[in-house]
Amino acid sequence: MAQLTTELIHHPYVPPEGFAAPQPGVFKASTVFFPTVADMRSREWKDKTAYTYGLHGTPTTYALEERLCTLEGGLQCVLVPSGLAAIANVALSLLKTGDEVLIPDNAYGPNKALAEGELRQWGITHQFYDPMDPLDLEAQISSRTRLVWVEAAGSVTLEFPDLVALVRICKNRGVPVALDNTWGAGLAFKPFDLLPDVEPGFGVDISAHALTKYPSGGGDVLMGSVITRDAGLHMRLKLTHMRLGLGIGANDAEAVLRALPSMALRYRAHDESTRALAQWCQMQPEFVQVLHPALQDSPGHAHWKALCANGWGGAAGLVSVLIDPRYSQAQTDAFCNALQLFKIGYSWGGPISLVVPYDLATMRSAWPAHLKTGTLVRFSVGLEAVVDLQADLARAMKKTLI
């Protein structure tokens, strides 16, 4: 007989097989056991046929990877600790000293910051292109370009680019194209199949997704994914992922697995409320411009319609307004402070509506020609009743925009 401490660790009881329930089990591990040394030497984790170490995958992370591939129409997936880590994983896999990356001028800010920080420090250059002008992208691609980022709609300003044209240029020039697919989320359009009726399989090479937003849906999890349809490209991403040690926790994976089944319903609910609110915003004289791709006169509306109006035409849960410049920044800040249901906070995709004022002039190389002058405020519309959100906006406007 072994000692009690040992027995409590090496206990012979094994629960019966046959437990089945709605949610998959949550497997937590750094260490994974091997029955023999020979087995340890022979196991292969790279193709998900076995387990070797928590960082290289567990049943829980494999299950989440497969479901995310289904969501986005991809074949392989890498999970990382945040959406920004997904962006970084892509950049660090594909770029080396002397290379150049092209980023849309309206990209998610920290993507630009990575280029201006670490990438520059390592001798990797970058250029910002005008996402609304495919010819500008075409002109900026050089023999050093090794990665092009695209984003639809653009972060904060929500212009919708001609994604098909941008991807076509990259394909013609043989440059890998990566989409930040957080807004579309696999629901508004299919990133690996942008022209399903005309040219099946035409799409981006890589889709990076902040699962922090719609897939998590709770405002309480940080996670990202990098999805591909090319095994070689995936292996480059996966090896970088392994060497950098970008693992995720099992509890976070569980939270996303639990939220995924309701994701399409939530996305649609956010979408419907946001459209209603965007239309209401258009009628307010205090707002000189309302940015939401499904609005007829929003920049890039025709591109959104061409890409997303297949099916039900998803447009996510974000709307931005430009407040008339006759109101001061202090008044805009007071307006945001006066909101009660809209909380002041970054991110989106959760049940609670959020508001952020942005200083657009500091975020862009130049003030975009398609935007009027004004102070930008972005709303992330949660799952509250839209009449209450509208009343909240009206009350705060009446109090502060005078």
Ligand X SMILES: *Cc1c(COP(=O)(O)O)cnc(C)c1O
Nearer to ligand X, 32 or 223 (CB): 223
182 binds ligand X (CB under 6 A): yes
Dihedral of CA atoms 129, 357, 86, 134 in degrees, nearest 10, equals -20
Angle, alpha carbons 321-136-140 (nearest 5°): 125
The C-alpha atoms of residue 393 and residue 157 are separated, in whole angstroms, by 19
83 binds ligand X (CB under 6 A): yes
As a whole number of Å, the CA-based R_g of the chain is 23
180 binds ligand X (CB under 6 A): yes
| Per-residue contact flags (x/-) with ligand X for residues 137 to 176, judged by CB under 6 A | ------------------x---------------------
389 binds ligand X (CB under 6 A): no
Q: What are phi and psi of 340, to 5 degrees?
A: -110, -45
Cβ 109 to ligand X shortest distance, Å: 9
216 binds ligand X (CB under 6 A): no
Q: What are phi and psi of 131, to 5 degrees?
A: -65, -20
Nearer to ligand X, 224 or 374 (CB): 224
Q: Where would I find the H helices in 95-225?
A: 109-114, 120-121, 134-140, 163-173
Measured on CA atoms in the order 197, 198, 202, 203, is the torsion positive or negative? negative
| Side chain identity, residue 204 | V
Cβ 274 to ligand X shortest distance, Å: 15
Between the CA of residue 389 and those of 81, 128, 353, 384, what are the distances in Å?
32, 36, 8, 7
84 binds ligand X (CB under 6 A): yes
| DSSP at 119 | I
Cβ 141 to ligand X shortest distance, Å: 23
- List all residues 6 or more positions away from 394 whose beta carbon is below 8 Å from its beta carbon: none
* In the complex, residue closest to ligand X by CB: 83
Nearer to ligand X, 32 or 147 (CB): 147
210 binds ligand X (CB under 6 A): yes
| Side chain identity, residue 318 | L
Cβ 260 to ligand X shortest distance, Å: 16
Tell me which stretch binds ligand X (CB under 6 A): 4-12, 77-85, 189-197, 295-303: 77-85
Cβ 113 to ligand X shortest distance, Å: 12
| DSSP at 31 | B
Nearer to ligand X, 27 or 160 (CB): 160
The C-alpha atoms of residue 316 and residue 387 are separated, in whole angstroms, by 18
3-state secondary structure of 100: strand
Cβ 11 to ligand X shortest distance, Å: 39
Cβ 285 to ligand X shortest distance, Å: 30
Count of residues in the chain: 402
Residues between 101 and 120 that touch ligand X (CB under 6 A): 108
Classify residue 316 as left (phi > 0), alpha (psi -120 to 50) or beta.
Answer: left
Task: Of 225, 209, 187, 277, give the one whose Cα is nearest residue 78.
Answer: 225
| Per-residue contact flags (x/-) with ligand X for residues 317 to 356, judged by CB under 6 A | ------------------------------x---------
89 binds ligand X (CB under 6 A): no
252 binds ligand X (CB under 6 A): no
Tell me which stretch binds ligand X (CB under 6 A): 209-217, 254-262, 328-336, 390-398: 209-217
- Site of interaction with ligand X (CB under 6 A): 82-84, 108, 155, 180, 182, 210, 212-213, 222, 224, 347
